[in-house]
């Protein structure tokens, strides 16, 4: 049996190659799965497939059947194809390969696996097509080199840029709206990078505000989008009102670089903690949370405040690891008079000397501070 495809013939690196369109229903049949895990790395032509990635890609297809997008698969053929050009052209024509050809994927094995899974849930997708770039098979060494060449210069886009361009994600849309409507955010959010350069004129990153808003709101669906949007705008507006240094940057009385060098409250670890603390605060004081947020003014946000050590800082460095975000959120909850869970208490006790915080709370409540040892 012969498979026939409309194709283009090209030349790259002294080799002829073909670009063709393949129906999705044929992808699992033509490109057989190979479990490279059974072989040592030096005998593989591909990375070991990460099965945990497949459900995410599959769901992406099924959730966006009207607008999903894939780049080309790249494969090698171990057969003698026949290319018949159309009249008057030598680069356009018909490519014929035996049905039992051994086609090995050089790039796109996770897409191939996700396509197979998506077809089991929606067979109608089988009539759609994906482009495939086909190179002649030479040997294992060439296969390994192709994999290296295809992936060595690949770079993922920044999280901030993904948020900016992702029109399907409701949380992204809420975050972008907040950066446009909250006065202190306008013009001070870097929407391209996930970290700010030393002399950056920006104060926040889009990725940091997204994570913080996500911690505040949790999940967002179409039915509650408007309410969640209103809450996010209200929360960040009140937070900004209680961050006088942010307002100084906005008014031009303080440069962003100067604020970042002296204070900690514009860094991602604190923003995310503010969102997490805000969620607990709003659920605890649904009618009074705005007034409660005035407590932010009583917090010493300076880097030199020793309370941050082990929580959000290590030495002179601000640390944005997951555990630091959790401990910083717990720290802010304590400062705001909120009750911690047993797990939060254990974690923050292991990170810092909680007696310093408890003394502050006693002073705030008008109680005498505990005697120091």
Give the domain ranges of the chain: 2-152, 159-364
Q: Print pLDDT tens along the chain (373 aa).
A: 788 889 999 998 888 899 999 999 989 888 876 655 555 555 555 566 788 889 999 999 998 888 899 999 988 888 788 899 999 898 999 998 887 777 888 888 899 999 999 999 999 999 999 999 998 887 777 767 777 777 777 667 788 888 888 888 899 999 999 999 999 999 999 999 888 998 999 999 999 999 999 999 998 999 999 999 999 999 999 999 999 999 999 999 999 999 999 999 999 999 999 999 999 999 999 999 999 999 999 999 999 999 999 999 988 899 999 999 999 999 999 999 999 988 888 888 877 654 555 555 555 555 555 443 3
Please tell me the distance from the alpha carbon of residue 227 to that of residue 191, in angstroms, as a whole number. 25
**Euclidean distance between CA atoms 262 and 315, whole angstroms:** 14
Q: Nearest CA to 225 among 178, 167, 165, 173?
A: 173
| pLDDT given at position 41 | 57
Q: Which helix (H) or strand (E) holds 160?
A: helix 159-165
Helix 268-284, helix 206-217: angle, nearest 10: 20
User: Is the Cβ–Cβ distance between 106 and 46 less than 8 Å?
Assistant: yes
Within 223-302, residue ranges assigned H as helices are: 225-241, 244-251, 256-262, 268-284, 289-292
Q: How far apart are CA 305 and CA 335, in angstroms?
A: 14
In terms of phi and psi (left: phi > 0; alpha: psi -120 to 50; beta: otherwise), the region of 252 is left
Per-residue pLDDT at 159: 84
pLDDT score at 373: 34
CA dist., res. 336 & res. 295, Å (int): 6
pLDDT the model gives residue 154: 67
Phi, psi (rounded to 5 degrees) for 46: -150, 165
The confidence score (pLDDT) of residue 30 equals 85
At a CB cut-off of 8 Å and minimum separation 6, what does 317 contact? none
- pLDDT at res. 371: 46
Paired tokens of 163: 């948020």
């Amino acid at each position: 049996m012969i498979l026939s495809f409309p194709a283009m013939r090209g030349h790259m690196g002294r080799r002829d190659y073909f670009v063709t369109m393949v129906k999705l229903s044929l992808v699992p049949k033509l490109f057989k799965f190979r479990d490279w895990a059974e072989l040592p790395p030096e005998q593989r032509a591909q990375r070991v497939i990460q099965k945990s990635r497949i459900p995410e890609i599959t769901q992406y297809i099924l959730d966006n059947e009207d607008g999903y997008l894939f780049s080309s698969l790249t494969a090698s053929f171990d057969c003698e194809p026949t290319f018949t050009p159309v009249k008057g052209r030598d680069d356009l024509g018909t490519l014929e390969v035996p049905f039992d050809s051994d086609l090995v994927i050089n790039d796109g094995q996770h897409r191939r696996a996700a396509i197979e899974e998506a077809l089991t849930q929606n067979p109608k997708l089988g009539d759609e097509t994906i482009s495939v770039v086909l190179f002649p098979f030479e040997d294992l060494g060439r296969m390994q080199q192709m994999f290296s060449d295809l992936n060595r210069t690949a770079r993922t886009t920044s999280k901030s840029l993904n948020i900016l361009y992702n029109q399907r994600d409701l949380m992204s849309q809420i975050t972008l709206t907040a950066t446009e409507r909250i006065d202190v955010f306008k013009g001070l959010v870097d929407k391209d990078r996930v970290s700010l350069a030393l002399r950056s004129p920006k104060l926040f990153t889009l990725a940091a505000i997204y994570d913080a808003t996500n911690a505040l709101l949790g999940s967002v669906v179409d039915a509650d989008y408007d309410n969640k949007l209103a809450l996010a705008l209200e929360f960040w507006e009140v937070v900004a009102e209680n961050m006088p240094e942010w307002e100084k940057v906005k008014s031009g009385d303080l440069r962003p670089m100067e604020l970042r060098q002296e204070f900690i409250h514009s860094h991602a670890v604190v923003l995310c903690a503010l969102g997490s603390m805000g969620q607990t605060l709003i659920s605890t004081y649904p009618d009074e949370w705005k007034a409660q947020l005035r407590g932010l003014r009583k917090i010493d946000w300076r880097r030199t405040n020793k309370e941050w050590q082990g929580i959000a800082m290590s030495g002179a460095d601000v640390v944005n690891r997951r555990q630091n975000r959790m401990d910083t959120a717990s720290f802010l909850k304590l400062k705001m008079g909120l009750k911690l869970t047993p797990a939060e208490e254990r974690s923050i006790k292991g990170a810092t000397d909680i007696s310093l915080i408890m003394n502050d709370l006693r002073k705030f409540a008008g109680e005498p501070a505990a005697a120091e040892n």
